[in-house]
Amino acid sequence: MIYNSYIYLNYRQDKVSLILDMGSGYPGNAETLKADGGIYLTNQRVIFISQPSLEHFKSLSIPLLNLKEGKLQQPWFGANYYQAVVTPVLNGGLPAPGQLKVTFKEGGGFEFSTVYKNLMLRLFENEGTAPVEHTEPLPMYTPRQDNSSSAQISTSSCSNVVSSGAPLNSLEPSVDATTSRNISTSTEARQPPVAPDELPPAYDEVVTR
């Protein structure tokens, strides 16, 4: 589905080399297209035109959605190149999916990759099929128990303990009993010592005549 009927040229780079390998893994069934030329990015497709034009390979047109797993490679030595998987369209001329490699001999690889990503994002936004980023789900929220509820539960437990035993009045000592016990104890403490009937042996008895 094309989100816009107009075609806009968003990127152009000359002096690139393209290799499209459609080998199936069996000897004799491999088919590879190679050419030098220019590459173009529109809002609908990637276009390559061979320069000079070759009889067996003049151009290649790939819809944006048929270019998969694209990645810009930046080696330590040599020019940057862009790799991707090309899936053929119906009656498009390609016999099978192939590995695409576009080498940017005079720079421009980073710009190509950036423009292509922006075009794909815009395409997904207009079609309403933007990829969803899958993240780890957050843990379920467990509401904290209210302090008032805890207080009510504690009060209820205490009341149950008291009611299951003796009545509250029987658990407390009566005021009269406590007061009388304190008075008697105080009285006993204030009584004077009793005089002994006999003097200690060290004393002499004085007799008055």
- Quick one: 37 exposed, middle or buried, by C-beta within 10 A (0-12, 13-18, 19+)? buried
What phi and psi, each to the nearest 5 degrees, are found at residue 207? Answer: -110, 130
Between vectors from CA 198 to CA 196 and to CA 200, what angle results, nearest 5°? Answer: 95
Identify the helix (H) or strand (E) that includes residue 33: strand 32-42
Does domain 9-126 bear CATH number 3.40.50.300? no
All residue ranges of the chain with pLDDT < 50 are 1-3, 130-138, 141, 150-151, 153-168, 170-175, 177-180, 183-184, 186-187, 189, 203-209
Predicted structure pTM score: 0.55
The pLDDT score that the predictor gives to residue 16 is 95
Return the sign of the alpha-carbon dihedral for residues 78, 80, 86, 91.
negative
- Model confidence over 144-169: pLDDT tens digits? 665 555 445 444 444 444 444 444 45
Contact 71, 84 (CB under 8 A): yes
